[in-house]
A and B are shown apart, each in its own frame.
Chain A
Amino acid sequence: MRRFIALAALLAIDVCAGAALAGTYDLVIANKTVQVNGKAVRAMAINGQIPGPLLRWREGEDVTIRVTNRLADSTSVHWHGIIPPNAMDGVPGLTFSGIAPGQTFVYRFTLRQSGTYWYHSHSALQEQSGVYGSIVVTPKAKARRTPANLKVNREYVVLLSDQHPEDPDRIMRNLKRQSDYYNWNKQTLSGLLGRVLKTKNPEERRAILRERLAWDEMRMDATDISDISGYTFLMNGKSPGSNWTGLFKPGERVRLRFINASAMSFFDVRIPGLKMTVVQADSQDIVPVSVDQFRMGVAETYDVIVQPAAGRAYTIMAAAMDRSGYAKGTLSPRPGMTAAVPPLGLRPVLKMSEMGPHMHGGEHAGHTMNTPGKADPHAAHRPPQKAPALKGPAKADPHAGHRMPAPAKADPHAGHNMTGAKTAMPASTPNGTKRRVLQYADLRSAVPLPDHRPAGREIVVRLTGSMERYIWTINDRKLGEDTPIQLRKGERVRIKFVNETMMDHPMHLHGLWMELIGPGGHPVARKHTVIVRPGHELSVLVTADADGKWALHCHLLFHMEAGMMTSVEVTDRNPKTTGAPTPKVAPVHHH
């Protein structure tokens, strides 16, 4: 319509109409050739940038975003974590019909929230190609009287992503042809022999063999931590060699807004030499908690405050969960400085004895390290009733992982309690160090959550699929074969995710907050994305307070594309709880 908006510059026009804030932003999505490991790769960029421009908005602002599609295919933009009117949510086929090539779609909504967010294409595999960026919404002026412990001297967005030299469609086809196409760390005969020969204890040897046979019997692979290898991991668009740098003056308090905008990669984040005070999770202020490390599922965000006292450089280390690589940057008093990069640590291997009770094939799950003799792989998996769950012994206790709480099925109320074992983020602790790793159990909203009604019913969402075929589903149904979840406006429900697969799934619900459940069954913290660990279950409370059809999906991009997506429909009608085979609806008992 209006061609001049093709000017790729980010344009922000502030209009002061009375007290209302308003801003207009232009985003243009187009193909771009980028270099990945020295290879020219066709990518997609927003305003010529990967990541796209940082959008700085203000709470209360009426934003107008004109998104122009210069691609050959339909596109879309979804504002991850922001709850706009349903039609502005940007999910093709669900909330609108997508943005056709050459067209401009105008998003308009008022920001009723603040914090760290991000945006990305919700069409096909475009996010993997580069269509993502960060959003920071600053709180309203009156709310800006920041408590002293949240005051900072400066802040940076630290956006993590993964970039692949192959075309995403080709990656998908490779996975469909051979689902272990990208796994070059499978369990082998030579590896097995090596482990057996190294083990002196005949009982342990038998255990090793039994474990291998058990995986083979199930036709699964314990090394399937992430589906795709060959990634270059980026921090604010920069590879480790390019070393993104954030400057500080010694003694300053620095807020880092971490966003995991990668397509397929979880990260373990730490800054050797600095304690990190986590102050926000998924854009929601939490009671500050001081940690050494935290895990980021795809699409999660965490804000931390650090206070580097020394006039030296600090490495921000984001190790990919499968330890295939890392994204890194530097906090430094002067440009050009670097600090040591800590070792990546060992590649994790799934251990059957630590899998949750729900995995198909029957056994339990979790991540552990390759050589149980050295590390303390089980620490993170012990039922950590107390927050500092990672005070593991320096030496491994081979049986620690077996001490799992009773499977949730045995206790119908187990879902009320947030036992760490179900919700804790698995931590990869290296040899003997007592590193404090953030757990979901640590997350406590800084403000009281508004809805304390108990859930009226429970909706079971089973996370299902077949790695062998690279089919990923919810309740055994792909998107298109699924039965949308019906909620009545205003109702309070509990969603119980049951992960029947052997992979972590970062589940994202659009439009409605998911509340983690604390002791006593009370809601403790809001999340837009929750990690559900292999074979485990995780329950969240949801208030159906926003009308419309909202997407619910795994945020591993290739899982979503393979079918792991459904929707939640909030209407004024009473939900039809009969006739639909899924989702299963069960009554809830309250104490």
Chain B
Amino acid sequence: MKRSGVVRSAGLALVASLAAASSVPAEAAEPGPKIFYGVELDASYDLVERGKSFSWDSLFWVGTDTHKFLLKSEGEHDRERLDEAEVHAYYSRMISQFWDVYGGVRYDFKPIGTTFGAVGIKGLLPYRFEFDLTGFVSHRGRLSARVELSREILITQRLVVDPYVSLDLAAQNEFQRDVAAGLSELETGIKLRYDVTREFAPFIEFRYRRNFGYTSVLVRRDGEDPESIGFRVGIRLRF
């Protein structure tokens, strides 16, 4: 039932974004603004900690310069069970040279099915820091936010260091999904990748993750570790 909710919401977002795209005045010379698309996938596997963990972070986007539809998914498969899985569907609109705002829905499959409404802003800060801030309201009426910051550093033309940090914050307790008010989760790490081509790059990654406050109690009660360190190996695909 919840799954179909996600599909419906994603469909609405797509319709909304396409409607917005087609409302741009058609140019006489060319048939309307051009539509492009892109696929991004980072998939990695934990080498040491806790044996077998597979995680993914993916994005499909389609649209014009101004209007885009985004479909994101990220999650982790731990010790032969799905630990975490999120799907986001957004309509995104360019607001300036470096910034886009977006809104749509997110659905979490784990630890319990939860639907969120979401709005966010994403862009490039001075000194080339990539910034992404999203606010969520769950179907239980609880507010939360996620802020992500990263920056690529080119060691050489192909060897790239990519440090990142991501924070989950909650305004209220939402015990159903193992979240307590306050800073609930920190994820930070550093990726070292080698761009064989723009499309394909293997990487190694150090990742540190920690839950805070009462969230860590909730997580532990659920049989998870509130703090983990991972050494990962993965591939990055862009096409």
Contact = CB atoms under 8 A, between A and B. Distances in A.
Interface of A: 91-94, 172-174, 176-178, 181, 184-190, 213, 216-219, 466, 468-469, 471, 478-481
B175 interface: no
Main secondary structure of the interface of A (DSSP, over half): loop
Nearest to B239: A177
Interface of B: 24-30, 32-34, 36-38, 65, 94, 97-98, 124, 126-128, 153-157, 198, 238
A93 B36 contact: no
Contacts of A469: 65, 94, 97
A177 B38 contact: yes
Nearest to A469: B65
Contacts of A190: 155-156
Contacts of A471: 65
Contacts of B32: 480
Contacts of B94: 469
Given A177-B36, A480-B29, A480-B30, A217 B156 contact: no
Contacts of A181: 198
B198 A174 contact: yes
A484 to B, nearest CB: 10
A388 B216 CA distance: 74
Contact of B238 (A177, A185, A480): A177
Nearest to B125: A219
A479 B154 contact: no
A480 B33 contact: yes
B41 to A, nearest CB: 13
Contact of A468 (B27, B97, B155): B97
15 contacts: A93-B27, A93-B29, A172-B34, A176-B36, A177-B238, A186-B154, A188-B154, A213-B127, A219-B124, A469-B94, A471-B65, A479-B30, A480-B28, A480-B29, A481-B27
B98 A189 contact: no
B223 to A, nearest CB: 40
A337 to B, nearest CB: 38
B161 to A, nearest CB: 8
Nearest to B27: A480
Nearest to B153: A189
A468 to B, nearest CB: 6
A362 to B, nearest CB: 13
Contact of A216 (B26, B30, B98, B127): B127
A71 B33 CA distance: 22
Contacts of B28: 93-94, 480
Given A172-B36, A186-B157, A479-B30, 19 more contacts: A92-B30, A93-B27, A93-B29, A172-B34, A173-B38, A174-B198, A178-B198, A184-B157, A186-B154, A187-B154, A189-B153, A190-B156, A219-B128, A468-B124, A469-B97, A471-B65, A480-B26, A480-B29, A481-B25
Contacts of A468: 97-98, 124
B65 to A, nearest CB: 5
Contacts of A216: 126-128
A111 B111 CA distance: 76
A186 B154 CA distance: 8
A177 B65 CA distance: 10
B132 to A, nearest CB: 16
